[in-house]
Amino acid sequence: MRLKISLLKEPKHQELVSCVGWTTAEELYSCSDDHQIVKWNLLTSETTQIVKLPDDIYPIDFHWFPKSLGVKKQTQAESFVLTSSDGKFHLISKLGRVEKSVEAHCGAVLAGRWNYEGTALVTVGEDGQIKIWSKTGMLRSTLAQQGTPVYSVAWGPDSEKVLYTAGKQLIIKPLQPNAKVLQWKAHDGIILKVDWNSVNDLILSAGEDCKYKVWDSYGRPLYNSQPHEHPITSVAWAPDGELFAIGSFHTLRLCDKTGWSYALEKPNTGSIFNIAWSIDGTQIAGACGNGHVVFAHVVEQHWEWKNFQVTLTKRRAMQVRNVLNDAVDLLEFRDRVIKASLNYAHLVVSTSLQCYVFSTKNWNTPIIFDLKEGTVSLILQAERHFLLVDGSSIYLYSYEGRFISSPKFPGMRTDILNAQTVSLSNDTIAIRDKADEKIIFLFEASTGKPLGDGKFLSHKNEILEIALDQKGLTNDRKIAFIDKNRDLCITSVKRFGKEEQIIKLGTMVHTLAWNDTCNILCGLQDTRFIVWYYPNTVYVDRDILPKTLYERDASEFSKNPHIVSFVGNQVTIRRADGSLVHISISPYPAILHEYVSSSKWEDAVRLCRFVKEQTMWACLAAMAVANRDMTTAEIAYAAIGEIDKVQYINSIKNLPSKESKMAHILLFSGNIQEAEIVLLQAGLVYQAIQININLYNWERALELAVKYKTHVDTVLAYRQKFLETFGKQETNKRYLHYAEGLQIDWEKIKAKIEMEITKEREQSSSSQSSKSIGLKP
């Protein structure tokens, strides 16, 4: 990825340009010390002077009023705030009329920023004051006051906090009084510029120590650049939070959100005092010290999938290369490309007006449909369909270009969604809420309606990243997520009344990805790279989960690596310095998944015998129990030396009725309540009581005996035997009450138990014989 610079031969301004801002993706305004505000039209390459400000107004900063205002959408910004050296800020319309000038600070007003909703304006000045104003320019409050000038300010993503500079310090101050203020030393020189992105919640700062740094919203350092030759005078996040740009003397640099640099350009600009990204995130404008306005387009982005590599060569052209046979295809577009995604044998490209869907089998005839709103901020793909996110909604389309659904939930803000907070599978859409980060909304892909009984998924901690598994049946769909404590959790997506438990898979996990062809999960855990070959093991037999993992050392990936993709048996990891590392994992677990999904148990056993690996046998054991194939489970458990489980499976096989077998399989997986329900529904009350006695659930065993008026003496007898073994006295009031005057006769109890087992056998054989002669039992 690099920047394509365009610069006019002669500057349009006579003095230094202090600030620039986009109204649409093709129109820009610039302000200069020559008191002019100039409009640039990039389609026609024309510039027009909008207004000449009075000679005493030297503009310092300006910011367009936000476009999206509640429900009412404006196609483009209609007014802006301009701060100036005379201590005032000016509200100016798009046509250049000064609507209002407000005395704001003693000394110059160094920065002014609207919040995301457009309901408040923050200004900072040389007098060290931070002031909040209403939309109409009325003073609401003085947020803070300090002894040094405040050079830059930015709103937090929720418009509830303000970040500002104080010499070498950065300060985050909430608007609520008495709320905790966060302050830390960020640079060794005076901090000149800050920016805070609403999508990724990361902070960018730059200063006179010639460095730029990336921080999280708690003030923890994520990246620290090498010193440049000159102080860094401007920084700006791209709208989607994936890239940022920094400007210095004769320098424009494009960087990834993790800090490493994509491209460095050295245009003849003087210092770049201000950088603005276009709304669609495809180009940058810079305000230059020599009167120029520099424009830069982001080109040469790469997308890779299997043997295909797609490169954005120009604004409206892409090159597709098949590395197997070196075949090259050129794709031309009518408008400029904004976003693209390559996955599942399809390339999805959104331009400013249309969406193109290419199949990797045929690059010549794309499916094209018009977009409702041009600026697509995110494209996600699944095997059957893809998701587009724009400024107002989420849309799901099939690869044939047919609109499927558009999920919605209260308070949805699509402009701050990214690949970490939205996930898509063939039947489910998951979205992490921004208002409450502990909640995940789940939707049916086909209808866009909430999944199951409409309940959302709620976790005890804030969730950072979510991912749906891609294969298998809808009922078995699982979602994995990483929370604020860096715990990796997994839970079932289907939620009908019963509260699905959230199970912790690992701790200190920084990044995760599901495989595209089978439900294998990989993640980077502290200094280890881990692959969970069968994450469902946690629901079946948690004891053997460690045996189903693949682990290797990940220290070679340096600090903060990120998993880019997990396609086939290859995992792609991006290191902190931007380099890509490919890891190959064993192909056999994927083949095992395939056999099991097709119920080819004999082939699965044969494969495990061929590979001779404990992880494979452990995965097969868990898969067999999950699919109720106890013969295969017995072989697999024997192979990994779990003799106690082999014996238990043998005892299950000898049970007389189908219901008893089913209940004990559920018991094997730890689903005690479900096992009890199965037995009670089949009328096997004694067996339901017996499993509770075996598990020492004495309260429940007595409760069932009393409720069904049977085997109360059996429960009391077993309880007495249990207490005698441990030399204890009975203290439970319920047991004392029922044991009053009752003589326990073990011979009688054994006879009753024998009778129950005989009855169950007869029931089972009669139902089987009635089936064999075609009668309903």
Compute how many other C-beta atoms are within 10 angstroms of the C-beta atom of residue 581: 15
CA distances, 614 to each of 523, 548, 608, 636 (Å):
21, 8, 9, 9
Strands lying side by side in the sheet with 488-492: 463-468, 478-483, 488-492, 503-506
Instruction: Look up residue 282 and give its DSSP letter.
Output: S
Q: Is 124 buried (19+), middle (13-18) or exposed (0-12) by CB count in 10 A?
A: buried
pLDDT in tens, 592-626: 999 999 999 999 999 999 999 999 999 999 999 98
Decide if 725 contacts 716 (C-beta within 8 A).
Answer: no
Q: 287 lies in a domain?
A: yes
pLDDT > 90? residue 238: yes
Whether 327 maps to a domain, the answer reads no
Q: What is the pLDDT of residues 90-103, one digit of tens each?
A: 999 998 888 999 99
The region, left, alpha or beta by phi > 0 then psi within -120 to 50, assigned to residue 327 is: beta
Residue 18 has φ and ψ, to the nearest 5°, of: -95, -30
Give the closest residue to 688 by CA, choosing from 678, 696, 628.
678
Please report the pLDDT score of residue 772 as a whole number: 43
Would 261 be classed as within a structural domain? yes
Give backbone dihedrals phi and psi of 72, rounded to 5 degrees, phi first: -75, 125
Give the pLDDT mean for 728-738: 84
Q: Does residue 551 register a pLDDT over 50?
A: yes
> CA-CA distance, 78 to 74, in Å (whole number)?
8
pLDDT of residue 255: 95
**What is the pTM for the complete model shown?**
0.87
Angle between helices 630-639 and 614-626 (to 10 degrees): 160
Predicted pLDDT of residue 768: 59
> Where is average pLDDT lowest: 22-26, 381-385, 498-502?
498-502
Residue 73 banded pLDDT, cuts 50, 70, 90: very low
Least confident of 80-84, 93-97, 729-733: 729-733
**Listed residues 298, 313, 339: the one ending a domain:** 298
pLDDT in tens, 137-183: 999 999 999 889 999 999 999 899 999 999 999 999 999 988 899 99
User: Within its chain, how far is the Cα of 246 from the centroid?
Assistant: 26
Q: Domain for residue 131, yes or no? A: yes
Residue 57, in any domain of the structure: yes
Cα(475)–Cα(462) distance, integer angstroms:
26
Per-residue pLDDT band at 483 (split at 50, 70, 90): very high
CB 287 within 8 A of CB 30: yes
pLDDT digits (tens, 9 = 90+) for 346-382: 999 999 889 999 999 999 999 999 998 768 889 999 9
The domain total for the chain is 2
309 in a structural domain: no
Task: Name the one residue in this structure whose structure tokens are 């509770």.
Answer: 692
Per-residue pLDDT at 666: 79
CB 172 within 8 A of CB 181: yes
Residue 677 resides in a domain: yes
Strand partners, 398: 385
Checking if the pLDDT of 274 tops 70, the result is yes
Quick one: pLDDT at residue 70? 37
Check residue 645 and give its pLDDT: 87
What per-residue confidence (pLDDT) applies to 499? Answer: 61
The amino acid sitting at 384 is R
SS3 445: coil
The CA–CA distances, whole Å, from 438 to 57, 66, 462, 496 equal 48, 28, 4, 20
The answer to whether 380 and 424 have CB atoms below 8 angstroms apart is yes
Judge whether residue 776 has pLDDT over 50.
no
Indicate the residue type of 450. P
Name beta bridge partners: 422.
Answer: 431
Q: How confident is the model at residue 509 (pLDDT cuts 50, 70, 90)?
A: very high
Q: Is the pLDDT of residue 636 over 70?
A: yes
Whether residue 74 is predicted with pLDDT greater than 50 in this model: the reply is: no
Domain final residue pick, 282, 298, 314? 298
Q: Name the percent of the chain lying above pLDDT 90.
A: 62
Identify the CATH number of the domain in which residue 35 sits.
Answer: 2.130.10.10
Residue 351, in any domain of the structure: no
Please say if the pLDDT value at position 492 is more than 80.
Answer: yes
DSSP, collapsed to helix, strand or coil, labels residue 142 as strand
Angle between helices 685-694 and 698-707 (to 10 degrees): 160
Pick 558 or 442 by higher pLDDT.
Answer: 442
Q: What is the mean pLDDT of residues 444-451?
A: 90
Where would I find the H helices in 93-211? Answer: none
673 has pLDDT over 90: no
Residue 399, token pair as written in the block:
């690869």
With tokens 């129950």, the residue in question is 756
Q: In sequence order, which residues have a C-beta less than 8 Å from that of residue 579 and are 6 or more positions away?
A: none
Host H or E run for residue 743: none
Place of tokens 């249990």: 722
- 386-408 pLDDT tens trace: 999 988 889 999 999 999 999 99
Please report the pLDDT score of residue 766 as a whole number.
Answer: 66
Q: Which of 245, 271, 298 is the last residue of a domain?
A: 298
DSSP string, 472-518: S-GGG-EEEEEETT--EEEEES--SSS-PPPEEEESSEEEEEE-SSS
CA–CA separation, 29 and 13 (whole Å): 12
The mean per-residue pLDDT over the stretch 681-694 comes to 83
For residues 735 and 213, give the distance between their C-alpha atoms in angstroms, rounded to a whole number. Answer: 68
The overall average pLDDT reported for the chain is 89
356's tokens: 């193109």
pLDDT 10s digits, 171-215: 999 999 888 999 999 999 999 999 999 988 999 999 999 999 999
Percent of the chain scoring above 70 in pLDDT: 96
CA 766 – CA 208 distance, rounded (Å)? 89
Q: What pLDDT shows up at residue 76?
A: 55
Structural domain containing residue 755: 655-759
